Amino acid sequence: MIKREHYISQIRPFYESGLVKIITGIRRCGKSIILQQVCKELESEAKRCLFLDFDMRPVRKKIPDADALIAFVDEHLGNEKLYLFLDEVQNIEGWNEACRTLRLYNCSVFVTGSNSKLLSREFTKELSGRYVSFRVKPFVYQEAKEYADQLGRPFEISDYLIWGGFPAALEQPNEEALRRYLNDLNSTIIYNDLENRYNIRKKDVFERIVDYILVSNARIFSAKSIADYMKGQNITITVPTVIKYLEYLKEAYVIEEVPLYSPKAKAKMSYYHKLYDEDVSMNSIRAESRHYDLTHNLENIVYNELVYRGYEISVYNHKGREIDFRASKDGKLYLIQVAYSVAERKAYDREFSAFASIDNAMKKILITNDDIDYSTSTVYHYRLKDFLLMDGL
């Protein structure tokens, strides 16, 4: 497995902190591997480390609850600080009480968790003011390519556009196994984690809405527009229920909402958002007859890359014309338009005209999958294969 220094470098300044270090993210994005890599780094510095994996039945049997965990750790304490790693900590009863207590001992506590018992909302509720969290995402392209090279397997941008970056997906020997893995992962997240956690009774309606949302990535939505669409499919659902379902998906790190930004109001618009999948494979496994939505997946990938690189993102609405991203970082602003190709004149005119009448105070960028450089005097054109290997903008 590759070393994910991007995330470890964010955690490193907190190694000695009394705060609980929570590594979180969607299932199977590589949280446990990062936890192991942090542990190995500290061990290489002769630090005293204790790693407990609560996905393992023998560990859970020996340490079933908070009292047992506190007692077990107490046996391993000494004069030197103990670095305690609790993988999938939600699998023991009273994990929150244990973490609150152990952080007061002479130890530095690191935990992972992502399933139905430990979603984003729980951190604030159970460890308020006592934690720092680190959001991990599936592989971006550079990571996926590095891991594929490590495995000795070919991996092209087209593979990433369809199958995304879940680490174990790259390990599958063929497309049949890949699809099975991704479908099983989808079932675990949607059916096991969310439906069981929230006791969803109308499961067929929930699943129809989830399917609709995940195949409609990189599009502008409102909760009302989703409810109206479902009504057209003879499914009656209220706007509050749609909002509730969207919150469930966000809490499980399945989707992210991006607000619209109006330069006229100089503010974000609260009613409409763009929705992006955490990984484009969630779109592709729902594609009919292998007709993959490469256009919207490409935009989704660009969004994930920008977030990974630390940009704050909104959708730019200029006089009713949409530009895909308004990206800001370190006091610099960028306007970014994304298209699969501008080789045809109609597509070229449409994409470049989005920047018309906008001054050049912000850097204007167009990203496409074309090989030809279409840069102009005012718009920088980045080829996708170049953008995915860049560090910034």
Residue 269 — very low, low, confident or very high, per pLDDT cuts 50/70/90? low
Distance CA 235, CA 199 (A): 20
Q: Is residue 279 a contact partner of residue 303, using CB atoms and an 8 Å limit?
A: no
Is the pLDDT reported for residue 264 higher than 70? Answer: no
Spatial strand order of the sheet with 267-277 comes to 219-221, 267-277, 255-262, 312-318, 321-329, 332-338, 363-368, 379-383
Contacts of 46 (CB under 8 A, 6+ apart): none
For residues 24, 27, 32, 34, the Cα torsion angle rounded to the nearest 10 degrees is: -60
Averaged pLDDT, 164-177? 97
Q: Is residue 315 a contact partner of residue 329, using CB atoms and an 8 Å limit?
A: no
Phi-psi region of 115 (alpha: psi -120 to 50; beta: other; left: phi over 0): beta
Averaged pLDDT, 168-173? 98
Distance CA 92, CA 344 (A): 58
Calculate what percentage of the chain has a pLDDT beyond 90: 80
Averaged pLDDT, 333-349? 97
Is the pLDDT reported for residue 371 higher than 80? Answer: yes
Distance CA 393, CA 312 (A): 13
Whole-angstrom CA distances from 356 to 266, 322, 360, 375 are 19, 12, 10, 15
pLDDT at 127 (0 to 100): 79
pLDDT at 212 (0 to 100): 96
- For the record, the structure tokens of 185 come out as 């992962």
- For the record, the structure tokens of 292 come out as 């993959």
Count each helix (H run) and each strand (E run) in the chain, helices first. Answer: 17, 13
Q: What is the DSSP letter of 261?
A: E
Residue 319 — very low, low, confident or very high, per pLDDT cuts 50/70/90? confident
Give 105-152 pLDDT, tens digit per residue: 999 999 997 655 555 556 666 777 889 989 999 999 999 999 999 999
pLDDT at 330 (0 to 100): 96
For residues 287, 290, 296, 302, the Cα torsion angle rounded to the nearest 10 degrees is: 110
Contacts of 234 (CB under 8 A, 6+ apart): none
- For the record, the structure tokens of 15 come out as 């190694």
